[in-house]
Every structure is written in structure tokens, then in C-alpha cells.
A and B are shown apart, each in its own frame.
Chain A
Amino acid sequence: MRIFFGLEAIAPWPETFPTGRLIDPTSRHATLVFLGDCNGFDLKKIPLPPFVLGFTGFFDRLLIFQHAIGWHVQMPTSALQKYQETLLQIFQKQPEEHELLLHVTLARKPFDEEGWRRAFQKLPVLFPALHLYESHENLLYKPIWTHSLIPPFEEIEHTADIAYKVRGRDLHEIYNNAKMALAFRFPQMLDFYSQTEPKTLDALISDLNRSVSLADSAIGCPFKAVSFSSKMLQNDAFTEWEMIVDV
């Protein structure tokens, strides 16, 4: 069996794509380490990753390979790179052959290259789990081992508005995950986010609201304001913030 480590990719995918041999949404992933043909693989050798939270990022450009089309992911990758190095060492793979270019392959040849150039969209992406995938026919990839990660954000019940639990190891991560939570509902928000580094929760909320204002002025925005209402709660592994958004 041909196997590889990858992160499951979830995104608000467009309903249609240009022509190509499309990868099914349930099989879309970002590859970490390709192991190749490995019969009799010992799953017990897999080291658990040191990170507990899933990852978020966004697609920032199209990648055209010889045989495939992918969308590149923009997100901090230092934790993934360290884990990749660990996997390469354990499974005795050459690091230089496995430079981490984080992307999600969407289709294989034959594809309409020009159509794909036009169709690229800046969209948020969420990686909720790490899998050891096995390649099957017809571009299907099925997990044979899974390590689920804690969602970096999740929508929760709120009677009047919308609310999320947003998680992160620090304020910077919380800010990024909050941005992606909003972008999942309204991807156009990605064009209005600032690159500032807020130092406090209040500053973070003000920054998000500034982005909402800009988006509403320019194109209209389903969000009206991010509330100052709730605080952050800390546990051993991460901090959690309940983001409440007036709609």
C-alpha cells in the first residue's frame, strides 16, 4: 500500500471547479511526509504530535505542478515542520526531498490550466486532524490511522447572534483563528484583515471590528460587530475565548 502522512483539509469550497480529475472533498489534504509503498507498516511507530490544536490558514495562491493543481496554504508552519522532521527521522526519509510546501492538491491531469488560474479563490482552510492516508484508485485517500486535534474554533449555540469558541496557545494564535472562523462564514473578510499584532483582548476585538467596518463599507458584511462581552479562559494547553458576533 502507498501511504503518506497528511492533514485533513476543510474549507468552504466552491460548488464547481474547472475541468480536471478532481479530488473528492472528503479526500482533500495537505501532505506532510510521503512514505510510498509500505507493506506491513507498524502503526505503533508513529509518534504522536506535540501539538493539540488544529490549524487554520488560508489559500493565497495557485500552484501548478507537472501532474497536479493545488492551492498553497498561508499559515505558520514551524510546529508542523518540527513534526515533519521527527517523522522523516523515524521513517528514514531524506529531508531535502521533503521540503514542506504546504498546499492542498485539488485536481490531477488532464486539467484546464487557464481555467484554474481564473478560478483561484482566497479561502480559509481548517486542518482538524492528522491522518496516515492510504492511496486508492480514482484519487481516493482513506485514513488508516487518525490523530484528531482540538478544533481551533467551533461555532456554538447563541440565541440571538453567532458565537464561537476560539482557541490558541497565545493571543496571536487566537487572533488568527478568530479571523478564520469569521472567514469560514464570509470568505471576503480575508481581504479586510489587518496584519497588526494586538497585545490585549480588547485590542484584538477592536482590530476585528475595524475589519468588519472596512468590509461593510466596501462590500457589505453579514457581521455587524464583535462583542466585548466575554473573557479568555486558560487551561494547561491553550487559551479559549468565546467570540460573540452581532449579525
Chain B
Amino acid sequence: MSELQKIHPSTYLIPKIGSMLVPGLLIASEEQIHDPEIEKPLQQVRNVAHLPGIVGHSIAMPDIHWGYGFPIGGVAATDAETGVISPGGVGYDINCGVRLAMAPGQFKDLSPTLQQSLLQRIFQLIPSGVGKGHKERASLKESDYKKIASLGAKWSVEQGYGFDLDIKHAESEGFLAGADMDLVSSYAKERGRDQLGTIGSGNHFVEIGEVETIFFPEVAAKWGVALGQIYILIHSGSRGFGYQICQDTLDTFVSAGLGKDLPDKQLIYAPIKSPLGQNYFKAMASAANYAFNNRQQILHYVRQGFKEVLKTVPEEIRLIYDVCHNIAKFEEYEGKTLCVHRKGATRAFKEQPVLVPGDMGRASHLMIGLGNPITWCSSCHGAGRAKSRVKSMQTWKGRDPIHYMQSQGVSVLANSYRTIAEEMPDAYKAVDTVVNAVEEAGLAKKVVRLKPHLVIKG
């Protein structure tokens, strides 16, 4: 790692070499930069630096790991007039993101029986796992899709899922302008038809726990977050709908002959101003709005679970914030419009809540953004995997992961043993290390640390 130049605490420059158009920028701890596993994703950071119209740096967050085209934990901004847009810079799960809500009361006041009842009921209410959709509801119609495109999460509120105030506490108010469902294939619509309000599979989850530590009391008080208070964290995205849109775009770009000479075909791109680039953005925005609706509806079902089991008034479960961590957005910096790709990275505008899920055993974090322009006001999105799914399964073969988690004070439910074994805490990096690097680099500041107790895995 001798070519990395430390320019600031936890901030390293990757020199511009060869045909890179800009240098790279790595946000990482001292320990992380010496990890040999970092070299493969760093090569992807160098690849991203070749994107036409890229501005500033090709950026890597401390939770960086290998992805398709862009690394996960990668950020890159391109000039909106002359630059390109890349589906690899958004990811397959368009607008995968996280939302944090606070429920009234202290977690420690919930008896073990009530905790289990709450967990079970929410598990029943929210389909999770492979292909699980809401079969008891009507499937989305074409007219519904059009409204999702034009209204974003507001559509779900109008359907009775949640409250107007929720919209005010979502990134870009739960809406990305420019969506056009006419540019979305029937395959995508078919996949998404029954999947709104569902968690999905893989590392998606709903978790309930308590505020364990307060680092920044003034902000915690301002946001209405108290020590020991019950929190709800939701991680999900655009489900099969978004995946299909990404896949359709990649197929279209490949058929158009784009990306022939790229070191990684998944870095394929189109000029933003071209019809292909414009069509991708509009389809991506459609998926983004679908995902905002998805998380809005999941929160509704969580509120329902709290109401049935704990008699909590639904309005008293307050949304703190909803963030995207797989998206491309047009943002203004010093009078210039840029297309900011955040792939496994979160927007961190000044004073904006930044949500960083860790793993189901240790912790997640709520931070406050500092609006640092060097990363285009971006921060990390999570802990990042440390261990492959194959290794995780091998580690837990013949052992009882559910029993182990219970011994750690965490009750887990999922539709398959495999999901739990693949998602055990030791499969992930320590989120504390990641957020400490982010804080040292001046991207966001820690507000509270959250401890999970009840987890539903996808």
C-alpha cells in the first residue's frame, strides 16, 4: 500500500497514474489500509477513475469491498453535461437503503414474552425471504406503477401506509424526480407486482433494539432519541423490480456495443445526455421510487405489529430518517450540476441523519452528516462483509446459530437456516471501526450507538 498518501486523518490519496482521469480517495483506518483484501476493491476505485467526465476523486468508503464495476462503498461524481452515468455505480438493488424509526418507551421495559410476541407478529406481517410477496393483497396495476413514479413514497401514504410526516423525514422526501414507468420492462413490473412491503432476502432485515450509547447528546435530544429507547431499523430496496431494471439496462448497453474495452464490463456507461443515459436514469428513478414505497410500507406493518402487541399508537412511532445507499442523483456543487453515484454509500449533507447498519449481533449507528464536499457529501453505508457466504456456512455447520444469538441477547427469525448462518455477526467487519474512520475523516459524527435485540432476516 506504499502508493497511498495520507492527506488527513483516515483519508488517503490514491495517486493518478496511467490513464486515470482523477486520483482516488480512500477513507479508511490505519488497520484497514494494511489488509491485503483491500487491493481488489482499490483496483476497482482506479478503474472508476477512468469514467469520462469524472470530477474530483474516485472515492472509497471504509466499508469498501469488491462489487460489480464500482466497488461497494464507492462514490463518483460526473459532469451532468459532459459526463457519463453507469448502472454499476448504482448497483442492482436500486435505492437499497435504510430507515430508522423510534418507538415510545424503553426496550428494557418489554418483558421477554412481549419481545417474542412482537417479533413473531412482525415476522407474520412482513413477508421475508426468497420471492415472498404479499399474496393477500391485490397486485400492483399499471396505474399504480405510474403513480409510484410520479409521487414516490407519498403514494403509499395516500394508500394508508403511514403518515405525511414520514415523507418529511425521508431523503429527498421519498421521491426522485424524472421517473418514467414507460421505460420499465414488463419483466420488471411482473417481478415487482407483489413485492411492495416485503423485506426480500440476503442481508435485508427488520431489527428492533435499544439506544445503547449516546455520543452527541445535543443532537440526540434534538432528534428525540433517548438512552434505552426502542428503535426500529429497516434495510430493504427495490426488490426484483430494481434488479430487473439494472439487468435490462446492462443488456441494452451491451447490445449497443458499449463497454467493449472496459477492464470490467459492469463498469459500462452511457453519456448522461444520450438517449440511453437518459432512459437509464428515468428507469432507475422509477426503481428508486418503488424502493421508497417499499420501506414506507414495511414501516407501516411494523407499526401494526407494535399496535397489536404493545398497544402502541402508530403515530407515536416516529421516522427519524430514510436514506438511499445505491443511487445516482443530480446535485449542485459550486454552481455545477454533477451526477453523484453512490454505490453502497450514503448521502451525508450537513446536519442530515446518516444511518449505518452493522450486523445483527453487535451494533448499528446513527450519525450526523457534516456536508464534506471532498466526498460529495457522502459517507459509508454499513459494515461490509468480512467473510464469504461459503466460509460463513462452513463456520456454522453443525452448530446452532439461533441458539448462539440468543446467548448474545438477540432473537433472530428467518425463513431459512442458511440465511441466518450466512448473516452471522462474524461475517461482517466491525461497524465501530468503519464509523470511527468516517468521523476522523470529517464526513459525519457519531450521535448514538444502537444495540439490536429482535431481528427478522430476509
CA distance A202 to B258 in the complex (A): 12
CA distance A216 to B391 in the complex (A): 26
Contact residue among A156, A160, A222, A225 (Cβ-Cβ distance under 8 Å from B247) = A225
B93 in contact (CB, < 8 A): yes
Contact residue among A158, A202, A209, A221 (Cβ-Cβ distance under 8 Å from B388) = A158
Q: A162-B389, A216-B240 are in contact. List 12 more A-B contacts (CB 8 A).
A: A160-B385, A202-B254, A213-B240, A216-B131, A220-B133, A222-B201, A224-B92, A224-B243, A228-B68, A229-B69, A246-B243, A247-B201
Contact residue among A157, A202, A216, A219 (Cβ-Cβ distance under 8 Å from B390) = A157
Is the Cβ of A221 less than 8 Å from the Cβ of B131?
A: yes
Contact residue among B129, B240, B391 (Cβ-Cβ distance under 8 Å from A224) = B240
CB distance from A232 to the nearest CB of B (A): 12
Chain B contacts for A220, CB-based, 8 A: 129-133
Question: Of residues B65, B66, B93, B388, which shows the largest number of chain A Cβ atoms within 10 Å of its Cβ?
Answer: B388
Chain A contacts for B250, CB-based, 8 A: 228
Is the Cβ of B264 less than 8 Å from the Cβ of A229?
A: yes
Q: Which residues of A (146-192) have their CB < 8 Å from a CB of B? A: 155-162
Question: Of residues A156, A209, A224, A229, which shows the largest number of chain B Cβ atoms within 10 Å of its Cβ?
Answer: A224
Do A157 and B240 form a contact, CB below 8 Å, given A209-B247, A228-B266, A229-B68? no
25 cross-chain CB contacts under 8 A: A157-B388, A157-B391, A159-B65, A159-B387, A159-B388, A209-B251, A213-B244, A213-B247, A217-B187, A217-B193, A220-B129, A220-B130, A222-B130, A224-B202, A224-B240, A225-B92, A225-B243, A225-B246, A225-B247, A227-B68, A228-B68, A228-B268, A229-B266, A244-B68, A247-B201
Is the Cβ of A229 less than 8 Å from the Cβ of B265?
A: yes
Number of A residues near B (Cβ < 8 Å) is 26
Q: Which residues of A (202-221) have their CB < 8 Å from a CB of B? A: 202, 206, 209, 213, 216-217, 219-221
Contact residue among A159, A202, A216, A219 (Cβ-Cβ distance under 8 Å from B66) = A159
Chain A contacts for B193, CB-based, 8 A: 217
B455 in contact (CB, < 8 A): no
Contact residue among B69, B191, B385 (Cβ-Cβ distance under 8 Å from A217) = B191
1/0 per residue, CB under 8 A from A, across B92-136: the answer is: 110000000000000000000000000000000000011111000
Specify the chain B residue showing the minimal Cβ separation from A214.
Answer: B187
Q: Which residues of B (123-177) have their CB < 8 Å from a CB of A? A: 129-133
Do A228 and B265 form a contact, CB below 8 Å, given A160-B385, A217-B191? yes
Chain A contacts for B93, CB-based, 8 A: 224
| Interface magnitude class on chain B | 35 or more
B212 in contact (CB, < 8 A): no
Is the Cβ of B254 less than 8 Å from the Cβ of A228?
A: yes
Specify the chain B residue showing the minimal Cβ separation from A157.
Answer: B388
B67 in contact (CB, < 8 A): yes
B426 in contact (CB, < 8 A): no
CB distance from B387 to the nearest CB of A (A): 7
Chain B contacts for A229, CB-based, 8 A: 68-69, 264-266
Chain A contacts for B67, CB-based, 8 A: 160
CA distance A159 to B40 in the complex (A): 11
Q: Which residues of B (200-258) have their CB < 8 Å from a CB of A? A: 201-202, 240, 243-244, 246-247, 250-251, 254
B72 in contact (CB, < 8 A): yes
1/0 per residue, CB under 8 A from B, across A226-247: the answer is: 0111000000000000001011
CB distance from B318 to the nearest CB of A (A): 32
Specify the chain B residue showing the minimal Cβ separation from A185.
Answer: B418
Do A221 and B130 form a contact, CB below 8 Å, given A159-B385, A160-B66, A229-B68? yes
CB distance from B295 to the nearest CB of A (A): 18
Q: Which residues of B (360-396) have their CB < 8 Å from a CB of A? A: 385-391
Contact residue among A155, A213, A222 (Cβ-Cβ distance under 8 Å from B187) = A213
CB distance from A45 to the nearest CB of B (A): 41
B190 in contact (CB, < 8 A): yes
Specify the chain B residue showing the minimal Cβ separation from A158.
Answer: B388
CA distance A213 to B244 in the complex (A): 7
CB distance from A110 to the nearest CB of B (A): 35
Chain A contacts for B386, CB-based, 8 A: 159
Specify the chain B residue showing the minimal Cβ separation from A219.
Answer: B131
Is the Cβ of A160 less than 8 Å from the Cβ of B65?
A: yes
Is the Cβ of B190 less than 8 Å from the Cβ of A217?
A: yes
